[in-house]
Structure 1
Amino acid sequence: MPLRILLILGALSAFGPLAIDFYLPSFPTLARVFDTDVEHVQLSLAAYFVGLALGQLVYGPLADRFGRRLPLLVGVLLFCLASLACALAQSLEWLISARFVQALGGCAGMVVSRAVVRDLCDPISSAKVFSQLMLVMGLAPILAPLGGGLLLNSFGWPSIFICLTLFSALCWLGVALWLPETLAPTAPVAPLRGAFGEYVRLFGDGPFIGHALTGGLAIAGMFAYIAGSPFVFIELYGVPAEHYGWVFGSNAAGFILVAQLNAWLVARHGPGYWLRRTVWFYLVCALLLVAIASSQPAALWPLLVPLFGCIACLGILLPNATASAMAGQGRHAGSASALLGSLQFAIAASAAALVGALHDGSALPMALVICGCATLAVLMSRLTRWAERRAGHPSI
């Protein structure tokens, strides 16, 4: 795949994590500005997850019917305008509503980027490309909280959303000028009225839905960490907002390094092989995290060790779950990508909301939700393997 297209797809895929991670250091500030608490500010994060989950179901059929470019250009423009609305928010309710609309626009990049990879690559190559995209995407969790903290202290919280506005405007230009249409002109036209039926078919595809849910549960654990870490790091352990990005970014660095290792691993064994094995290591790290959080250590570093392991595992789990789910979905890659992403972020929204609901002034709620997600991911991985064998579906 040409480097130019890979960079554009990486930027589009980064919309989700960038719009999440960039404003995390501002949670305590937003709580003071809008005269509320951090738990209510977390609703803006949950609203974003809900928008991602719902919006993807719309863009999938549109991408199969009208091609990849047009829905993408519309979605990126919507994200740009909603980011500006966030910067102008006068109340928490305004911010929550604008974040929801922002997600409806941003999810276009996530849906279409997966569909473009499926258009251009076979399953093994897809796993490699998704791993490479993790390198581009992974820079967002490293740079975004650090940059967000600096902007917060220098120019105030609205500047964070102004930067998102400018970033999305540049992405729109990149798509308009350099991203070609990848849906083959000879591909059968997918009528919009058949979208619901296509989603029903995908729900009946055991291997697809199993891999999608395995990846969704894994990413839900990451978003439980995203939702809980501002309180744990900044409020509980006193990490300055401007230094939050360094702590957050160290975990993202592990994610990036393992994702690049995965690109090498899948050339020796398929993505399903590594997915089934890594999910167990994810569970072990999550169990250690619960054990340490239960003891309420006086220092932060004991928590950071199993957290690093949990987030690093995602560098293998996410690209391989995506590649395994998208294998064999060529004609309807847009709808498959949409349902995949929608399921993942619906679970992520639930996990983020659950962290807020269980808030008790400690790190334990975050750890328990991560562990619950890891446990269910192991169970779903086992069920998916059973479904593949029963259907005679070869594991890639």
Structure 2
Amino acid sequence: MNTKPSLWLMVLLLMFPQIVETIYSPALGSIADSFAVTYSQASQTISIYFSAFAFGVVVWGILADKLGRRPTMLLGLVIYSLAALSAVLTDSFTYLMIARAVSAFGIAVGSVITQTMLRDAFDTKELSKVFSLMGMGISISPVLGMLLGGELTQFGGYHYVFIALFIMALVLVTYNLVALPETQKTKQPLKLKQLGLKMLRDINIWRSGCLLALFNIALFSYYQLGAFKFEQLGLSSQEFGYSGIVLGLGTFIGSYLNKYLISKQISLLRLLQLSALLLILGGILVTYLIDSIWFLLPMILVVMSFGIAIPNILSVALIDYKQQAGSAGALFGLMYYLMIGIGLSLAGAIQHLGIVLLICGIISSLLVAFKK
């Protein structure tokens, strides 16, 4: 019998991929030192992560429609666990990169299957409120990841970070074996070619994908570049982890503001306009303050913009593809996660947080301006 999944479990599964990524950020300096690579090379592991994540989204989304949501989720989590263990054991930067790619492929299941299960279980009106709750989890998870990553890196370098990831993965697999229900009601025949062509012609899909990518690039460019900026300012990886507390303030403000505006029936267009404006303002102030620790304060605006934009985009992006939610989510995820990977690769090459934020904000505002 199909049942509605626990929202708290869904929040946890949606948060985990982001915790996995941001817990790693404070360890970038340790990785660069331990493997004798440059900061730019170390930071590129984040763009590799998102590129592999994109292909994971495709595979797991398709399998979700074919095998069911529960077995697909469990398989992805097991693969992630094994990859995390490999990262603990390797002493080669090349093998570390491979382990990161495989782990990203595995943990992508947490994103696409969770969203698919929510679309299975809730109708369109409920989804907006549900994704608002999910948005709070998505916004909080990088903060938790940074705090934990900073502490672990301070005490044991990158090894402690990967050990913690392996342990968390085992706990998550065990808990899902007991608590995760199956939400797929009917199996639809897979017509990926037709579905893909339909989505390629859908301007709203492209707009939503680009917006999701831009707000994610803006947020994750801080986790990609911030650790090195802190080191340039003479601050430690542990102190970089503590910066998550400041960003947490933006998380709660953005999440509660989003819930308040939704309760007041503010339109999606207005919410996205506000998000783009906050991102541009944050980018301007970060650029101005980038050579001092005070650049952290306008990052609150960036986190707020993310917290408002992401749940609202996700709640409507695939509204016309409910019958093939898993496969549509897979192709949609491939689109925007590849964009994120490319964007973060460019951010790593630019190595200037303020410029990256401004570019994301300006393009976002242009996309919103042309939205009907």
Task: Provide the TM-score with structure 2 as the length reference.
Answer: 0.93
The amino acid across from 1:115 in the alignment is T
- Between stretches 96-105 and 14-23, larger displacement belongs to 14-23
2: CA distance between counterparts of 1:250 and 1:336? Answer: 36
Q: Return closer, same or farther for 1:280/1:14 CA change in 2, 3 Å cut-off.
A: closer
Aligned residues: 370
1:52–1:107 Cα contact (<8 Å) kept? yes
2:269–2:371 Cα contact (<8 Å) kept? no
Specify the alignment match of 1:348 in structure 2.
340
1: CA distance between counterparts of 2:154 and 2:283? Answer: 36
2: CA distance between counterparts of 1:16 and 1:283? Answer: 23
Say yes or no: does 1:237 pair with 2:233: yes
Select which of 238, 259, 273 maps to 1:263. 259
> Can you list the C-alpha shifts for 1:62-121, whole angstroms capped at 9, x where unaligned?
112222111111101111110111111211111111000000000011001111111122
Displacement of 1:125 in angstroms is 2.0
The amino acid across from 1:255 in the alignment is T
Q: Return closer, same or farther for 1:270/1:105 CA change in 2, 3 Å cut-off.
A: farther
1:274–1:320 Cα contact (<8 Å) kept? no
Specify the alignment match of 2:138 in structure 1.
137
Specify the alignment match of 2:188 in structure 1.
189
Specify the alignment match of 1:281 in structure 2.
277
2:22–2:145 Cα contact (<8 Å) kept? yes
1: CA distance between counterparts of 2:214 and 2:162? Answer: 29
Aligned-CA RMSD value: 2.1
Specify the alignment match of 1:32 in structure 2.
33
Select which of 329, 345, 364 maps to 1:377. 364
Specify the alignment match of 2:42 in structure 1.
41
1: CA distance between counterparts of 2:203 and 2:343? Answer: 24
Specify the alignment match of 1:330 in structure 2.
322
Select which of 351, 354, 358 maps to 1:367. 354
Displacement of 1:3 in angstroms is 10
2:277–2:365 Cα contact (<8 Å) kept? no
1: CA distance between counterparts of 2:15 and 2:167? Answer: 14
Say yes or no: does 1:200 pair with 2:197: yes
2: CA distance between counterparts of 1:14 and 1:280? Answer: 23
Displacement of 1:290 in angstroms is 5.6
> Can you list the C-alpha shifts for 1:187-221, whole angstroms capped at 9, x where unaligned?
35232xx2233122112222233222212211121
Specify the alignment match of 2:247 in structure 1.
251
Say yes or no: does 1:113 pair with 2:109: no
Specify the alignment match of 1:171 in structure 2.
172
1:283–1:378 Cα contact (<8 Å) kept? no
2: CA distance between counterparts of 1:264 and 1:190? Answer: 40
Displacement of 1:368 in angstroms is 1.0
Specify the alignment match of 1:70 in structure 2.
71
1:215–1:321 Cα contact (<8 Å) kept? yes
1:26–1:148 Cα contact (<8 Å) kept? yes
Say yes or no: does 1:14 pair with 2:15: yes
Identity of aligned residues (%): 25
